């Protein structure tokens, strides 16, 4: 299960938290907003923001990461998911120094983040983009032989990952994401994601002509029975919560 970090697991853009200390918050916020809305290329947006943060000490970034506010319900959700057999992973366009601390605070064992360059403990403004969220999500799912793939994110750069997942959830997402991803949580409460994922006590009967992908998705949220609808006995029709036909 892949999670974006900024504005998803944490209730802020992490570069903006650093920018606030440097005194360039307004400039960085504007660049971030344009990038999340798909108006700026991701690499160009990162370059512009990091140029404004050049010279900031790595030690201070780690201290900030330890105090960044988690999204309400994030810690509870990760605990619940792990207890139910899910494998949560952070897949972020943010940076390794921060992601390492957030993963530690949430009890997440695996994270992937872009790399910040530092020299003598100081940000140089240089970076290395190593994260392809869609590819990593699919690679992790294959490696772990996942039964199904779930992804959660909020920004334009999350769309490929959300579309690649069996269940892609737009969390308090930007307009461009809401246009593309219809399954959404619009409340700042990550436990609402569990409301979507938890097993439902539903009985669904589907016709054999229903596409296998649809059947797979329905099977993730309910007990399904495949049967020709026109041959169903009346008592089955009456006890089914949902009947799916073409």
Lookup: tokens for 70: 């988690």
* Residue at token pair 């041959």: 231
Asked about 139 being catalytic, the answer comes back as no
What's CA 242's distance to the chain center, in Å? 29
**Residue of 4, 96, 154, 158 marked catalytic:** 4
Asked about 96 being catalytic, the answer comes back as no
Spatial contact of 167 and 183, defined as CB atoms under 8 Å apart: yes
CB burial of residue 209 (10 Å; 0-12, 13-18, 19+): exposed
**CB atoms < 10 A from the CB of 167, how many?**
18
Query: Which SS3 state, helix, strand or coil, does residue 224 take?
Result: strand
Lookup: tokens for 71: 């999204």
Cα–Cα distance for residue pair 69/46, rounded to 1 Å: 22
Write out the catalytic residue numbers: 4, 6
């Amino acid at each position: 299960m892949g999670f974006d970090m900024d504005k998803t697991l944490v209730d802020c853009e992490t570069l903006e938290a650093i920018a606030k200390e440097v005194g360039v918050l307004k400039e960085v916020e504007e660049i971030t907003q344009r990038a999340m809305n798909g108006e700026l290329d991701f690499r160009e947006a990162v370059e512009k923001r990091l140029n404004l943060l050049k010279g900031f000490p790595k030690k201070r970034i780690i201290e900030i990461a330890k105090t960044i506010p988690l999204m309400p319900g994030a810690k509870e959700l990760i605990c619940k998911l792990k207890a139910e057999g899910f494998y949560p992973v952070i897949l972020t366009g943010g940076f390794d120094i921060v992601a390492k601390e957030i993963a530690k605070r949430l009890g997440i064992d695996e994270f992937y983040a872009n790399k910040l360059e530092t020299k003598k403990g100081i940000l140089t403004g240089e970076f290395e983009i190593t994260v392809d969220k869609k590819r990593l999500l699919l690679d992790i799912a294959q490696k772990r032989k996942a039964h199904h793939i779930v992804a959660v994110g909020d920004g334009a750069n999350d769309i490929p990952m959300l579309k690649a997942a069996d269940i892609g959830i737009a969390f308090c997402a930007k307009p461009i994401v809401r246009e593309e991803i219809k399954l959404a949580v619009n409340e700042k409460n990550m436990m609402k994601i569990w409301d979507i994922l938890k097993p439902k006590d539903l009985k669904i009967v589907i016709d054999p002509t229903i596409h296998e992908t649809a059947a797979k998705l329905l099977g993730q949220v309910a007990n399904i029975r495949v049967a020709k609808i026109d041959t169903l006995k009346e008592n089955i029709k009456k006890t089914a919560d949902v009947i799916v036909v073409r």
